[in-house]
Amino acid sequence: METILTARLASITVLTEFDKENRLENRILDELDTRERAQANEYIQGILRRRSFLDFLIAEYSSVPIAEMEATFRNILRLGLYGLLFMDGTPDHAAINEPVEIAKRKISSRSGDMVNAILRRAQREREANQLPKPAMPDRVKLIATTFSHPEWLVERYVKRFGEREAFQLFQANNKRPDFYLRVNNLRTKTENFTLRLEKSGIPFEESEWLPGYYKVTSVAEVRAKGWFDKGLCQVQDIAAGFAPTVLDPQPGETVYDLCAAPGTKTIVLADLMQNKGTIHSVDIAQNRIGKIAENAENYGAEIVKIQRADIIEERFKLADAVLLDAPCSGTGVLSKRADLRWRRTPEELTAIIEKQAELLDAAANMVAKGGRLVYTTCSIEPEENMKQVEKFLEEYDNFELQPLDDFLPEEVLAEDFLSYQTLPHVHGCDGHFGVLLKRIK
């Protein structure tokens, strides 16, 4: 009998693949309708946000060591426990019955019975307020299990912030994130989009930091209304909007958007330039170039020229302004990309920092005299951010940092207004860093 793909089954498939291959492949979600796809995304990211704690509970309830469990079985248990403990509004019978049936179909009848027994026990202990709590002599392991972060990040952030603030950061990373919509003025006007939102009944909050940004709790309703398909708005965190804002591209200028895929910032740049001038949208990944072209057409960005290139190896003509959204650790977006906390390693962080330095060197050589360069990441690591910029300035005396207080609110600025840095637990948005550099000679 053919198995009907549901949000829960799709989630288990994606999570099992992640366990085996250490990569998050979501293409199977395209087979779901809008509501089911949103639910599957909630399961996947939610389980990854709580994975260590869920695994702790599984270890408490199961006689089989979790490391010896087959990956599908392990993720069925994670799904059931997450549904019981963290999915508000999900009836217990739904949180229990479907994982049990999936286990029976995908593995065996005995496996289904084991899932049922473990979930029923968790249900009883939750109702009696007797769920097990981590209690370990190793403080780092205890924190890592409680907040579901890898031990190396726990050690790093406790040392940097102290325990109390580190806990606040971990809690922010484990929350369901809010999302921001940015109005695309190439297809509509901000005031008209505001009216659409008001009439739609979708709860929203207009940002005080940048014009045309609206915070919403979910994008599923927006997608269902077809606003993305019409190019009226795009999903972009408010802090991600800082980079194009401080670059301040002017109509008629020549601009490079480097590491540009999927093209979100390219669209913002075209909007700010009123579709006058030229934007060279450059990325090295062949499989992502097409997404830039698709977005440029959909959002009406007519001044975009797309190029697949390795900016470290190839030479470019000089431009008025260059935006380098550098590949990074992604530690500023661990709420939306919970998989990254489990994929990143200290060794990988070192390699990322080295690559960023190479990219920043290449970007600097594309800036005309008097031109501007914005370096930005979605990281909260000093080595990727201000330390990277300081190292760059030691080698390039023809660039100077520019103050940002004319562009952004003071509460997001650092280094005497010469950089911006948002932190999820402080600013209630993704963690982003950026600077504006001017070529002076």
Cα–Cα distance for residue pair 2/176, rounded to 1 Å? 33
Residue 269 burial class via C-beta count within 10 angstroms: exposed 0-12, middle 13-18, buried 19 and up: buried
DSSP states of 46-89: HHHHTHHHHHHHHHHH-SS-GGGS-HHHHHHHHHHHHHHHH-TT
Cα–Cα–Cα angle for 55, 60, 65, nearest 5°? 65
**pLDDT value at 182 more than 80:** yes
Q: Where in the chain is the domain with CATH 3.40.50.150?
A: 238-439
What distance lies between CA 299 and its chain's CA centroid? 22
Q: What is the pTM of this model?
A: 0.95
Tell which wins on pLDDT, 67 or 183.
183
Average pLDDT of the chain? 96
pLDDT at 20: 94
Give the pLDDT confidence of 108-124 residue by residue, as tens digits: 999 999 999 999 999 99
Mean pLDDT of all residues in 171-186: 96
Angle, helix 71-86 to helix 7-21, in steps of 10 degrees: 130
Q: Computed over its alpha carbons, how large is the radius of gyration of the chain?
A: 23
Q: According to CATH, what is the number of the domain 238-439?
A: 3.40.50.150
Q: Give the 3-state secondary structure percentages of the chain, helix then strand then coil, rounded to 5.
A: 50, 15, 35
pLDDT at 130: 96
Share of the chain above pLDDT 90, in %: 95
First to last CA, the chain: 71
**pLDDT value at 99 more than 80:** yes
CB-based burial, 40-67: b 16+ in 10 Å, e otherwise: bbbbbbbbbbbbbbbbbbbbebbeeebe
Give the pLDDT confidence of 242-272 residue by residue, as tens digits: 999 999 999 999 999 999 999 999 999 999 9
Q: Which superfamily does CATH assign the domain made up of 179-235 to?
A: Sun protein; domain 3 (3.30.70.1170)
Question: 218 pLDDT band (50/70/90 cuts)?
Answer: confident
Give the pLDDT confidence of 350-402 residue by residue, as tens digits: 999 999 999 999 999 999 999 999 999 999 999 999 999 999 999 999 999 99
Q: Where in the chain is the domain with CATH 3.30.70.1170?
A: 179-235
Question: 34 pLDDT band (50/70/90 cuts)?
Answer: confident
Mean pLDDT of all residues in 221-233: 95
pLDDT at 12: 97
**pLDDT value at 1 more than 90:** no
Question: 88 pLDDT band (50/70/90 cuts)?
Answer: confident
pLDDT at 3: 63
pLDDT at 294: 96
Give the pLDDT confidence of 57-85 residue by residue, as tens digits: 999 999 999 999 999 999 999 999 999 99
DSSP states of 184-212: -TTTS-HHHHHHHHHHHT---EE-SSSTT
Q: According to CATH, what is the number of the domain 7-133?
A: 1.10.940.10
Share of the chain above pLDDT 70, in %: 99
Residue pair 192/200 in contact by the 8 Å Cβ criterion:
no
**pLDDT value at 2 more than 80:** no
Tokens describing residue 53: 């704690």
Give the pLDDT confidence of 296-335 residue by residue, as tens digits: 999 999 999 999 999 999 999 999 999 999 999 999 999 9
Q: Where in the chain is the domain with CATH 1.10.940.10?
A: 7-133
